[in-house]
Amino acid sequence: FQTGENAIWCYHFYTKWVTKFPMYLFLVLDMALALVESPAIPGMEWPFWASMLVEFLCLVAFAGRLVHLSMFTERRMFWRDGKNICVVVAIIVTAIDMVVYLVLTEGHWNIRWSRVLRPVFAINFSESRQLRRAFCNIRRTLLGIISVFILFLFSIATFSLLALKLFGNQHLTTYHGSPYFDNYLNALFDLYVLVTTANSPDVMMPAYNKSSWYSLFFIVYIVVNTYLFMSIFLAVVYNGYRKHLKNEVRTSVFNKRRSMGCAFHALCEPLNEDMVMSQSTWLKLVSVVAPTMSEGHRMLLWQVSDEEHQGYIGKRVFTRLADLLNIEVVEQWRRPHPLEQCAPRAYNSRLSCLVRQAVRHRFFRYVFDVVIFVNAIFIAIDDTVMAIQKAEWVFLVLYLIEILLKLYTYEPRTFFLLSKFWNWFDTIIVVIALIYAIVVHSSSYSTEVLDFLFILRVLRLLRIVDNFYRLRIVIQTLINIAPTMATHAALIMVFYYSFAILGMELFYGKVQFFPTPSTPEEHMCGNPLLVGSEFVQRQYCKNNFNNIVSASVLLIQLTVVNQWHVLASGFVITSDISARLYFIVFHMIVVILLINIFIAFVLEAFILEYTLDRGKTESAIERKIQE
Amino acid sequence: FQTGENAIWCYHFYTKWVTKFPMYLFLVLDMALALVESPAIPGMEWPFWASMLVEFLCLVAFAGRLVHLSMFTERRMFWRDGKNICVVVAIIVTAIDMVVYLVLTEGHWNIRWSRVLRPVFAINFSESRQLRRAFCNIRRTLLGIISVFILFLFSIATFSLLALKLFGNQHLTTYHGSPYFDNYLNALFDLYVLVTTANSPDVMMPAYNKSSWYSLFFIVYIVVNTYLFMSIFLAVVYNGYRKHLKNEVRTSVFNKRRSMGCAFHALCEPLNEDMVMSQSTWLKLVSVVAPTMSEGHRMLLWQVSDEEHQGYIGKRVFTRLADLLNIEVVEQWRRPHPLEQCAPRAYNSRLSCLVRQAVRHRFFRYVFDVVIFVNAIFIAIDDTVMAIQKAEWVFLVLYLIEILLKLYTYEPRTFFLLSKFWNWFDTIIVVIALIYAIVVHSSSYSTEVLDFLFILRVLRLLRIVDNFYRLRIVIQTLINIAPTMATHAALIMVFYYSFAILGMELFYGKVQFFPTPSTPEEHMCGNPLLVGSEFVQRQYCKNNFNNIVSASVLLIQLTVVNQWHVLASGFVITSDISARLYFIVFHMIVVILLINIFIAFVLEAFILEYTLDRGKTESAIERKIQE
């Protein structure tokens, strides 16, 4: 950091919302350009100068942001930071690529390689710290995994040799007539596909049909490469993940302690040789740091800190403040129901009390669980019968009554607390269903969007789950880990984006989709080379790289792994055998590395959640609340 | 335990090798009966009375073993032990089933349900403690997994409802023309298959071809059910596994400590108020417990225990004895080479020394790594060219020279230590290759078995791996965990056996395999119902339940998951739609439960191995050795 007044002003301006928000906007805009650039979604294509103008604006914005950053960072530090260098290089490369594109082709569609680099901006600006951390995690995991990976490739290579020797000279054919293990590269590819299990029994059948003993080769291969090696990959990734997590937590705790220590020394006052912080300073500090905190909450925290009621606290206790502030204390007090305030007599009458008691009773909940279940069965049976369409109205009215009764019983502000997820869920679903029902039945207008809204009602069944403690824990954990999961999802998206752009450059137009094919060529995905291939037979024509949306869907299908070799075959047939490399590299990076990191994260999160004991600070607060 | 003299004699006889070994024999025999019983391997079928006679003998043996056990166990304990009751019930049920079979059918093939129970014997006899422990592990894991499993099924059921609503009325067809999400049960099955990813893009294509938005439904489904739920299953299983492992280790350590304490009190002598054990008692004890231990090793252990050279040890140190005995200390001393003893002059001459020095040099190893690599390339290229067949002789001679040189340099007994796996591997491969080469080239006789021996040479490539430290760790870990892995494999086999027998009872003869089909019916796996089905197209006819071997191979294919719905379809078409249940239950038990337990085990083993610091005792020994 530079510490000049000007630099500090720059820094404040840098971190302000007004400069940060446009930055995010430009990042999204830059990525979103893929929707409208040359291999665009049909009907959304912009002229090339428009998209390039937007991209140019984005580049200027990124450069400006970087210059802004350099104004308050020391020059040496600025150039030693990998992420700044990445961004600078990406900007320069993109600019060169744009100029070359304009000069050479004057707008005819041509290759623009630099688009693959766009995620670099998303990762390397300091706004996306979470994403970058996940990225670092990958890099570190890569180091640990590489040796196992070499062993894995070695194993596949050796088995391929064995397969070539065993089956190469037997003149067998696969079920669609192609030769079986005829050369080393094909054997290698077939066995790599077998690791992913995508061609599982098919690759074995010709040999197995010849002799039962040959199945042993494939069984040993699958046990070693699919089960053992894939588990070892997961183990290495998981082990690395835990280690790095521990290191990160340790570093961040250390940094926090040091900062809190600095703050303590700046604010403390002497008392009998010790340095302590008085109650008034502490309360003032807290009210500055957390201005929205209520008086009661603040005093509770003080009492937790100053357990012996001395009126001051030492350094050790003070450093716990940051943790204390992070703990959510739900402030609850019995607010009177608005109806009680308006008409206390009626609300507190005997009938009203009976109703409220009934609603609070657990049988009320059970009854509506049964109602939801019956509703689900009605939906499953049939919805063309008139009687069942009528029944839907009954259910809707029942749900409405339920919500009204609950609102009558519970205080509305408590009922709609942000933490009461299921109440929100219930209400929103019922309101949407109500609007839907009114719209559909007041007019005969029915669209797919409304159909989609209609089936959302089925989701209401999820509420039954909420009644079982153990199931609720699982859902609660899922909700808790959602933010970190989103980071991992964003990371996978970044890779998808690069691979999609790369695929679009490589395979644009090789395979085409015709919603209602008429000519024979249209039946073959618009490419005569594909005649009779499994790709066409299985109607995979829409899985192509002709725009960013189909490319993304295709990449998701490749991530799911099954049939990936068939999907790959479509592009291998229409271009070149080296196209296999693209699909193999995608599998290695996304499935073996990223999905394993995702699984490792879910694993760790769930195990933590299952075994978590309540932290010391948290239980200290609970003890105080008990008092 | 009963403690009468007779009972103790019985116990000793019970644990003797002479009674245990026949027991294992009968267990294997009982299981192996499936090979020769009615739906037997072609050409191996026995008359029904022969197999039933053998089974009767086995039952008598099991019953006898149980009676023997009851002779020295207290009656109350005997009947409270679950495993004895299991065996008794299994024996009775099997006997009843055999009688019914004989009376009712007089030897015509009929259903013999009790065969499914045979693994009960294998699990419940006290001889197979490891297996039973793994089985208990499953049972405990099951309890933890059940709530997640309910949530998972609930999620699938809800999504199926959604799918029915979304796609049911759109009159779409799959690529082979069958209706698409036409009723709830089909939707449920299709989406369950999608969880396993086996029908991954295919089930989505009709909807996706209609509208790109529909892909969202499937993407959400896959993320939730395939990625999240499958990871959660793994997390729950892994968490349970670790917990039970910890408990088990704790219990066994506690038991060991208590037993050691008892032993100490029986053997100790008083010294200044303390009870201690003198060196002579200790040494006598160790020489009784471990009679094969060398004098030096024993003294080393004593010195480790009695660190302060007091001549006696206390209780705390004594309890460590069991751990000390478990540590393998490799005793190494420089034995003179036999050739040196025979002809010391020649062996120590200058030329000989030079040769030995060269062999010890690491370049010697590098040279032969290159040789192996070149050999692999030669194998990969082609083996019909004459020059390459000649080259194989050169390689064989080179390998032979390498081994002879090594035997000349290193002492043979050290070279062939049991722990030197790679030396053994090298020698055995080369000797086999040598025998092969001699057999093939002295006669023109060539069979598949010899071919198989021939390609074993390729495995020699594994030796290159040994040169890299990190890769060697992975392999070492694999070797270390092999015994426990074998237990898990045995457990999976037990389930395979039951499922195979069950499948043979249910689906015998539905699908038949003809190696060279001639009539149209033989082309349809001998069943006209299968005409035009994917099962026939993909030549899956050999995947049937007509004997225990094909049934096992089929079950392994189902475990690998891919195309399992196609495999299942063959039996659903030829029998009934309820046949799907068999395949779904198999998937739930074997893939979701057992394979996850296996992965959890590999995960834990590898993470332990990677993070293992050397135990305290072990380093104490090392310190002593340094002294």
Q: For residues B492 and B97, what is the distance between their CA atoms, to the nearest angstrom?
A: 26
Backbone angles phi, psi at B530, to 5 degrees: -85, 5
Residues of A whose CB is below 8 A from B236: 606, 610
Position A192 scores a pLDDT of 94
Report the 10 Å Cβ neighbour count for A440. Answer: 16
Number of separate domains in chain B: 5
Question: Are A139 and A116 members of one domain?
Answer: no
Torsion (CA) A582, A584, A589, A590 in degrees, nearest 10: 90
Question: Which secondary structure element, helix H or strand E, spans residue B53, and what is its range?
Answer: helix B48-72
Handedness of CA A382, A385, A389, A395 (dihedral sign): negative
Across residues A572-584, what is the average pLDDT?
Answer: 92
Closest CA to A528 of A515, A542, A510: A510
Is the separation of the CB atoms in B551 and B493 below 8 Å? Answer: no
Is A116 part of the contact surface with chain B (CB cutoff 8 Å)?
A: no
Position A105 scores a pLDDT of 67
- B162/A562 CB distance under 8 A: no
Q: What percent of chain A has a predicted confidence (pLDDT) above 90? A: 15
In this predicted structure, the answer to whether residue A626 has a pLDDT above a threshold of 70 is: no
Task: Look at A288-302, B76-90, B201-215, B230-244 and tell me which has the smallest mean pLDDT.
Answer: A288-302
For residue A626, being part of any structural domain is answered with: no
Question: Which residue, B441, B467, B493, sits at the end of a domain?
Answer: B467
In this predicted structure, the answer to whether residue B15 has a pLDDT above a threshold of 50 is: yes
Could you give the C-alpha distances from A491 to A122, A448, A590, A598, in angstroms and in order?
Answer: 10, 32, 10, 10
Q: Name the DSSP class of B173.
A: B
A118 CA: distance to closest CA in chain B (Å): 25
A627 CA: distance to closest CA in chain B (Å): 35
In this predicted structure, the answer to whether residue A317 has a pLDDT above a threshold of 90 is: no
- A158/B478 CB distance under 8 A: no
Across residues B224-234, what is the average pLDDT?
Answer: 91
In this predicted structure, the answer to whether residue B389 has a pLDDT above a threshold of 90 is: no
Question: Are B232 and B162 members of one domain?
Answer: yes
For residue B474, being part of any structural domain is answered with: no
If one compares A5 and B172, the residue with the highest pLDDT of the two is: B172
Closest CA to A518 of A508, A526, A510: A526
Which of A209, A234, A464 comes nearest B542 by C-beta? A209
- A461/B235 CB distance under 8 A: no
In this predicted structure, the answer to whether residue A386 has a pLDDT above a threshold of 70 is: no
In this predicted structure, the answer to whether residue A627 has a pLDDT above a threshold of 60 is: no
Is the separation of the CB atoms in B507 and B544 below 8 Å? Answer: yes
Q: Which two tokens stand for residue B451?
A: 């071919």
Is the separation of the CB atoms in B597 and B141 below 8 Å? Answer: yes
In chain A, residues 528-547 whose CB comes closer than 8 Å to chain B: 537-543
Across residues B95-108, what is the average pLDDT?
Answer: 78
- B209/A553 CB distance under 8 A: no
Question: Are A348 and A457 members of one domain?
Answer: yes
Question: Are B64 and B155 members of one domain?
Answer: no
Question: Are A14 and A102 members of one domain?
Answer: yes
A292 CA: distance to closest CA in chain B (Å): 37
Question: Which residue, B86, B108, B127, sits at the end of a domain?
Answer: B127
User: What is the tens place of the pLDDT at every residue in A326-383?
Assistant: 666 555 556 677 777 787 787 778 888 888 888 888 888 888 888 888 877 777 776 5
Question: Are B101 and B151 members of one domain?
Answer: no
In this predicted structure, the answer to whether residue A614 has a pLDDT above a threshold of 50 is: no
Q: Which two tokens stand for residue A142?
A: 């890569």
Closest CA to A323 of A306, A303, A308, A301: A301
Task: Please provide the DSSP assignment of A514-582 as one string.
Answer: -SS--SHHHHTTT-GGGTT-HHHHTT-TT-SSSSHHHHHHHHHHHHH-TTHHHHHHHHHHHT-TTHHHH
The upper half-sphere exposure of residue A575, i.e. CA atoms within 13 Å in the direction of its Cβ, equals: 21
If one compares A589 and B245, the residue with the highest pLDDT of the two is: A589
Closest CA to A260 of A316, A306, A319, A325: A319
Q: For residues A411 and A400, what is the distance between their CA atoms, to the nearest angstrom?
A: 17
Residues of B whose CB is below 8 A from A470: 147
Identify the band that residue B613 occupies on the pLDDT scale cut at 50, 70 and 90. very low
Q: For residues B58 and B94, what is the distance between their CA atoms, to the nearest angstrom?
A: 11
In this predicted structure, the answer to whether residue A261 has a pLDDT above a threshold of 90 is: no
User: What is the tens place of the pLDDT at every residue in B440-451?
Assistant: 666 555 545 555
For residue B477, being part of any structural domain is answered with: no
Across residues A76-94, what is the average pLDDT?
Answer: 87
Position A444 scores a pLDDT of 54
Could you give the C-alpha distances from B346 to B236, B339, B556, in angstroms and in order?
Answer: 67, 9, 59
CB pairs under 8 A between A and B: 234
Q: For residues B401 and B418, what is the distance between their CA atoms, to the nearest angstrom?
A: 22
Residues of B whose CB is below 8 A from A543: 201
> Which CATH number fits the domain that encloses residue A319?
1.10.238.10
Q: What percent of chain B has a predicted confidence (pLDDT) above 70? A: 88
- The partner residues of B276 in beta bridges, in order of sequence, read B269
Residues of B whose CB is below 8 A from A535: none
In this predicted structure, the answer to whether residue B84 has a pLDDT above a threshold of 50 is: yes
Identify the band that residue B225 occupies on the pLDDT scale cut at 50, 70 and 90. very high
Nearest Cα residue in chain B from A378: B161
In this predicted structure, the answer to whether residue B625 has a pLDDT above a threshold of 60 is: no
In this predicted structure, the answer to whether residue B393 has a pLDDT above a threshold of 90 is: no
Identify the band that residue B65 occupies on the pLDDT scale cut at 50, 70 and 90. confident
Question: Are B511 and B544 members of one domain?
Answer: yes
Question: Are A400 and A514 members of one domain?
Answer: no
Helix, strand and coil in chain A, % to nearest 5: 75, 0, 25
Question: Are A211 and A305 members of one domain?
Answer: no
Q: Which two tokens stand for residue A413?
A: 């502000």
Is A224 part of the contact surface with chain B (CB cutoff 8 Å)?
A: no
If one compares B613 and B316, the residue with the highest pLDDT of the two is: B316
For residue A416, being part of any structural domain is answered with: yes
Position B399 scores a pLDDT of 85
Is the separation of the CB atoms in A460 and A372 below 8 Å? Answer: yes
Task: Look at A29-33, B141-145, B200-204 and tell me which has the smallest mean pLDDT.
Answer: B141-145
Q: Which two tokens stand for residue A596?
A: 């394993």
Q: Could you identify the residue written with the tokens 């890099």? A: A139
DSSP reduced 3-state for B270: strand
User: What is the tens place of the pLDDT at every residue in B152-169?
Assistant: 998 898 888 888 888 887
A53 CA: distance to closest CA in chain B (Å): 29
Is B467 part of the contact surface with chain A (CB cutoff 8 Å)?
A: no
Q: What is the domain extent for residue A600?
A: 472-611
- C-alpha distance across the termini of chain A, in Å: 47
DSSP reduced 3-state for B179: strand
In this predicted structure, the answer to whether residue B383 has a pLDDT above a threshold of 70 is: no
Question: Are A66 and A177 members of one domain?
Answer: no
Is B147 part of the contact surface with chain A (CB cutoff 8 Å)?
A: yes
Three-class secondary structure assignment of A469-519? HHHHHHHHHHHHHHHHHHHHHHHHHHHHHHHHHHHHHHHCCCCCCCCCCCC
Identify the band that residue B614 occupies on the pLDDT scale cut at 50, 70 and 90. very low
In chain B, residues 290-349 whose CB comes closer than 8 Å to chain A: none
> Which CATH number fits the domain that encloses residue B144?
1.10.287
In chain A, residues 340-379 whose CB comes closer than 8 Å to chain B: 376, 379
In this predicted structure, the answer to whether residue B31 has a pLDDT above a threshold of 50 is: yes
User: What is the tens place of the pLDDT at every residue in B434-492?
Assistant: 787 777 666 555 545 555 555 666 666 676 777 677 777 777 788 878 888 888 888 89
Q: Which residues have a Cβ under 8 Å from the Cβ of B277 and sit 6 or more positions away? A: B264, B267, B268, B269, B312, B313, B314, B318
- B455/A232 CB distance under 8 A: no
Position A613 scores a pLDDT of 43
Position B615 scores a pLDDT of 47
B30 CA: distance to closest CA in chain A (Å): 23
Q: Could you identify the residue written with the tokens 């939707």? A: B187
For residue A624, being part of any structural domain is answered with: no
- The partner residues of B312 in beta bridges, in order of sequence, read B278
Question: Which residue, B269, B297, B326, sits at the end of a domain?
Answer: B326
For residue A191, being part of any structural domain is answered with: yes
- B550/A212 CB distance under 8 A: yes
Closest CA to B48 of B12, B116, B101, B117: B101
Identify the band that residue B623 occupies on the pLDDT scale cut at 50, 70 and 90. low
User: What is the tens place of the pLDDT at every residue in A48-70?
Assistant: 888 888 999 999 999 998 888 88
Q: Which residues have a Cβ under 8 Å from the Cβ of B426 and sit 6 or more positions away? A: B399, B402, B403, B460, B463
Question: Are B452 and B342 members of one domain?
Answer: yes
Position A590 scores a pLDDT of 93
Which of B150, B471, B560 comes nearest A151 by C-beta? B471
Strands, E assignment, A409-449: none
Position A375 scores a pLDDT of 79
Is B215 part of the contact surface with chain A (CB cutoff 8 Å)?
A: yes
For residue B625, being part of any structural domain is answered with: no
DSSP reduced 3-state for B596: helix
If one compares B556 and B435, the residue with the highest pLDDT of the two is: B556
For residue A19, being part of any structural domain is answered with: yes
- A455/B161 CB distance under 8 A: yes
In this predicted structure, the answer to whether residue A437 has a pLDDT above a threshold of 90 is: no
Question: Are B184 and B268 members of one domain?
Answer: no
> Which CATH number fits the domain that encloses residue A438?
1.20.120.350
